[in-house]
Structure 1
Amino acid sequence: MRDITVEELQTIKNPIIIDIRSPIEFKDGAIPDAINIPLFTDEEREIIGTIYKHEGQATAKWKAMEFVSPKIPALLNQIKEAMTNGEDLVIHCWRGGMRSKAVVTFLEFAGIYAMRLSGGYKAYRQYILQQIPTMFPEKAIVLHGLTGVGKTEVLKNLKLRGYPTLDLEEMAAHRGSIFGTIGLGEGNNQKTFDSLLYKGLQEIQGSSHFIMEAESKRIGKVVQPEEMMDKKMKGINIYIHTPLKQRVKQLVNEYVIPFQNEPWYHEQISIGMEKILRRIKDIEMKKALVHKVENKEYQEMIGILLEYYYDPRYDHATLEYDGMFIDIYADDSMDASMKVMAEIDKLLLKKKKVYEGQI
């Protein structure tokens, strides 16, 4: 049996990582791309914990053996099926203890070589929290724009063309508006966000800059690290402008049309609207918004929200930034993507000339 450290895990290309913790542990936080093949169910884990607390370690181990023994053939088959091209196999549990040791031992008996992650998920989490503050490229390029200009689409288009991007909304599984987690599940917790941020930073290592949206410090359930906030506030700012009509169309296409017939959609929009209404003092605007929501007139609701709620709040937030602003006027998100790329290329060319002493 070979134990590997979290640092050694980073050097393995495309490992197959098997997380044998219970589903509830895996859901709380996991290594990105890890496969959950639990040794115990949530209920079994709870029973073993209770026995350990009241009857001691020996009795708890015996109960664990009773639970595991009938599962061994199916468990090994699941792990074997996860191995497709002979990749390195890494097994881990919470602290690299008895669970992972037992599974690696079973695998060795079956003729399958596997490594065990020393310290388990706990060591991985400690490692990434130490590394993240040191991994940010030198300069942030921050995308600004009123709600609906398509900043997320611009970011995705840039990534497809090889630009170094960090999509924080995707990592948080949350959008900073009434649409919150629509189409994204219940939103990620801090552990999952940190893991995805670490992975994203790994992907852009070596770059002198990175591109991100102008998100507030809190996105849904998660909080950005201070180092990222500092980079963002001192970055180069690109402000995207698109017509109000196009912004409404963008939001309808993205957040209404794909989901409006789902049974949960109207309730989720209503809950989001209740939070907004508590912040609005204009009685007539409140009545108009309530009417639009009740009648499921989502397009008209979005138009009112943009013009009288989100736009004034957003413009105020831009005053917090120290860096220069570059304005881009575009017809839609694809037009904005091309113009943003042109501006970034221009900035990088200028930086290169400065470095080479041509300016």
Structure 2
Amino acid sequence: MKEITVGELLQLKNAIPIDVRSPVEFKEFCIPGAVNIPLFTDEERAVIGTIYKQEGSDAAKWKAMEVVSPKLPTLLGEIKEISANGMQPIIYCWRGGMRSKAVATFISFSGLSIPRLVGGYRAYRQYILEQIPAMLPEKAITLHGMTGVGKTDILKGLSDKGFPVIDLEALAGHRGSIFGTYGLFTGNNQKTFDALLFQSLMGMQESPYFLIEAESKRIGKVVIPEALLLKKQQGMNIQLQSSLQSRIERIYSDYVFPYLQEEWFHNKVIERLVYIKKRLKDYDLIFRLDEAVNQENYHLVIKILLEEYYDPRYAHKKMEYTEPFHFINNAEHIESTMNEIILLIEKNFLNRQI
């Protein structure tokens, strides 16, 4: 049985990790780019687990063989097809235990040479957590700006141009506010975030810098690694500024307009505002906010939230950064703002590689 380490897996250009865990395990977290070819369905895994607890290991193994045997031609056929298309399948499960060993053994009997990942997903996660701090480029370029100024759009534009960007909101599957999952899903968990961060860093190993948004330590369900937080706080700071009206329009376009006709939207706004109203403590302000929501005047809702909640909190967070700030006014013009940022990069990093 051929085995491969995590480091060797990551060096392969044509590797396709084959996750043989159940679909629910795969959905929770996996190696980026992996394909799920499960040995057991979710229901079968639950049954085998129950037998293991009630009757012991031998009975569970026998049941597993009964379940798997009829599936083997199909399962091995799917793996063989991936190999036939010029890719290199790598078998893994949670910790490189019985499931990946069983599949690798069956494959070897069929005449194929498909490696198995030593230690499984657990070894992969341990590896990337050890590597991430050392993989961070030397200098962070941190984009600051009040809510709605367009930081995410600018970072995406710079990434599209080939600049090294760590998009924390994209990695977290969350926009970084109480309304952060609108139009998305429930957000990524920590394991998925760390894996995607590692993948991003793999693509910027030759760069002396990276661009990042001035996010908080926690975004949705995930916590930013301490090493990345420290780089962000000690890096070069760029402050983006734009008018209140342009910020309102951008937030309306991102958070309101696409979902305005959805049945869930209005009630979801009311639900999320409960958290903010607990912190406002100004009854006149809460009354104005409730009135604007009841009238579905979302432009006014956004204006109140920016002026009375988000902007004051943002001013406080800027104090975490000690290095000087470079200011860019009229940041609502995305293309010209990107050009100004590129000029600052060229001034400070003459040997950049794009």
TM-score, length of structure 2 as denominator length: 0.94
Match of 1:96 in 2: 96
- Report the equivalent of 1:216: 216
Change in Cα spacing, 1:210 to 1:22, as seen in structure 2 (3 Å) is: same
What CA distance in whole angstroms lies between the structure 2 residues aligned with 1:299 and 1:212? Answer: 28
- How far apart are residue 143 of structure 1 and its match? 0.2
Secondary structure at the counterpart of residue 30 of structure 1: coil
Residue aligning to 2:325: 325
In structure 2, distance between residues paired with 1:336 and 1:288: 35
5+ residue gaps, structure 2? none
Equivalent residue for 1:285? 285
Q: Which residue in 1 is equivalent to 2:141?
A: 141
Residue matched to 2:66:
66
Equivalent residue number for residue 129 of structure 2: 129
Secondary structure of 1:301's aligned partner? helix
CA contact (8 A) 2:2 2:113 kept: no
Report the Cα offset of residue 263 of structure 1: 3.0
Q: Does 1:76 align with 2:76?
A: yes
One-letter amino acid of the structure 1 residue matched with residue 349 of structure 2 = L
Give the equivalent residue in structure 1 for 2:171: 171
Contact 1:17 1:89 in 2 (8 A): yes
In the other structure, the counterpart of 2:349 is 348
Per-residue deviation at 1:336?
A: 2.1
Alignment partner of 2:121: what SS?
A: helix
- Give CA-to-partner distance per residue, 1:90-147, whole Å, 9 cap, x none: 1111111221122223334445432110110011111111111221111110000000
Aligned pairs (5 A) from 1:142-291: 142-291=142-291
**Alpha-carbon distance between aligned partners in 1 of 2:104 and 2:66, rounded to the nearest angstrom:** 18
Cα distance change, pair 320–107 in 1 and its aligned pair in 2 (3 A): same
Q: Residue 178 of structure 1: CA displacement?
A: 3.1
Distance 2:81 2:297 in 1: 49
Deviation of the 1:280 alpha carbon: 0.4
The answer to which of 246-255 and 206-215 deviates more is 246-255
Residue 262 of structure 1 and its aligned partner are, at CA, apart by 2.5
Secondary structure at 1:279 match in 2: helix
CA offsets 1:138-190 (integer angstroms, 9 cap, x no match): 11100000000110111111111111110011111111223211122001111
Residue 226 of structure 1, CA deviation: 0.8
1:267-321, Cα deviation, whole Å (9 max, x unpaired)? 3322221111110022122112122223332222112211221111101110110
The verdict on how the C-alpha distance between 1:72 and 1:268 changes in structure 2, with shifts beyond 3 A counting, is farther
Instruction: In structure 1, list runs of 5 or more residues that go unmatched.
Output: 353-359
d(CA) in 1 for partners of 2:336 and 2:206?
29
Identity of counterpart residues, as a percentage? 54
Equivalent pair of 1:149/1:332 in contact (CA under 8 Å): no
Distance in 2 (CA, whole Å) between partners of 1:270 and 1:337 is 36
Give the Cα–Cα distance (whole angstroms) in 2 for the partners of residues 276 and 199 of structure 1. 35
Q: Distance in 1 between matches of 2:299 and 2:72?
A: 55
Q: Compute the RMSD of aligned alpha carbons.
A: 1.8
| Aligned-residue offset at 1:229 | 1.1
Q: What CA distance in whole angstroms lies between the structure 1 residues aligned with 2:108 and 2:66?
A: 21
Partner in structure 2 of residue 355 of structure 1 = none
CA distance in 2, matches of 1:258, 1:229: 33
Pairs within 5 Å for 1:1-150: 1-82=1-82, 85-150=85-150
Summarize deviations over 1:235-258 as a string: whole Å, max 9, x none.
110000111111111111112222
Structure 1 residue 43 displacement after superposition: 1.9
Aligned length: 351
Q: CA deviation at 1:84?
A: 7.1
Contact 1:178–1:269, Cα closer than 8 Å, also in 2: no
Deviation at 1:261, TM superposition (A): 2.2
Matching residue of 2:335 = 334
Q: Equivalents in 2 of 1:29, 1:110: separation in Å?
A: 30
> How far apart are 1:82 and its partner, in Å?
4.5
- Of 83-92 and 161-170, more deviation after overlay is shown by 83-92
Higher mean displacement: 57-66 or 259-268? 259-268
